[in-house]
Amino acid sequence: MTVVNYIEQVLFHRSLPPEDCAAVVVEPILGEGGYVVPAPGFFPALRQLCDKYGILLIADEVQTGVGRTGKWWAIEHWGVEPDIVCSAKGIASGVPLGATIARTSIMDWPPGTHGNTYGGNPLACAAGLATLDLIEKQFMQNAAEVGEYALDALAEIQTRHPSIGDVRGKGLMIGVEFVKDRSSKIPAPHLREAVVENAFRHGLLLLGAGDSVVRLSPPLNISRQLMDEGLEALEAAITEAENARLD
């Protein structure tokens, strides 16, 4: 049973009637859970389900949005238009700024209904405008091109390392999953942590996600040369971790 069928046939029948469901909030690519890319038909089916029952579809693009995956919004990869998009982080290159983008039919409250203490910060807005300009002119295309290059390189690295169970992602949002063996796909969290620690000694800063995934989320302006240096350090870290046999 697919996830969308499970929502309709199980959850809506046993836990929550669809008329009591206001919205579905989902990351186009699962972030903290392990950089998981959904199946091609997932978002079209979810959009259809939401339309069927009058449920809002909200895309959490805090990690995935603003050019990270080679498109403005990651959900564009599946040709689906959400009702609301939530964005932050990359929208202003690290300067605190967030945005909620929605259809006109939803944003129908009168002026003064919604407010916040730090809204309209001129410094954050200037950083956001400069960031969006750079992404539109060059960095989004670079993310798509260098990201594809990195995925191909990682697929080659995977053939040399049995501990790599999967390489996945879009653009410069890439996950490398470590497993005890590829047949069972059992996560190898200790090995992942060893890779992160080894990589730091090689001058590469990595961050884990999910049970045993290393995420690669470099700046959108990264060059192929710098990506090669990072991948070389990553492979050295993987080799050391595998030789130590921590998992």
Q: What is the mean pLDDT of residues 27-35?
A: 96
pLDDT of residue 137: 96
For 138-244, CATH number? 3.90.1150.10
Per-residue pLDDT tens over the stretch 166-210? 999 999 999 999 999 988 899 999 999 999 999 999 999 999 999
pLDDT of residue 115: 77
User: What is the pTM (predicted TM-score) of this model?
Assistant: 0.92
Per-residue pLDDT tens over the stretch 118-170? 788 899 999 999 999 999 999 999 999 999 999 999 999 999 999 999 999 99
| Pick from 37-41, 174-178, 180-184, 211-215: least confident | 180-184
pLDDT of residue 1: 57
pLDDT of residue 21 exceeding 60, the answer is yes
Q: What is the mean pLDDT of residues 22-29?
A: 98
pLDDT of residue 247 exceeding 60, the answer is no
For 3-134, CATH number? 3.40.640.10
Phi and psi dihedrals of 244, rounded to 5? -80, -20
Q: Give domain limits for the chain.
A: 3-134, 138-244
Long-range contacts of 232-237 (CB under 8 A, 24+ apart): 233/199, 233/202, 233/203, 233/204, 234/157, 234/176, 234/195, 234/199, 234/204, 234/206, 235/157, 235/160, 235/161, 236/198, 236/202, 237/194, 237/195, 237/196, 237/198, 237/199, 237/201, 237/202, 237/204
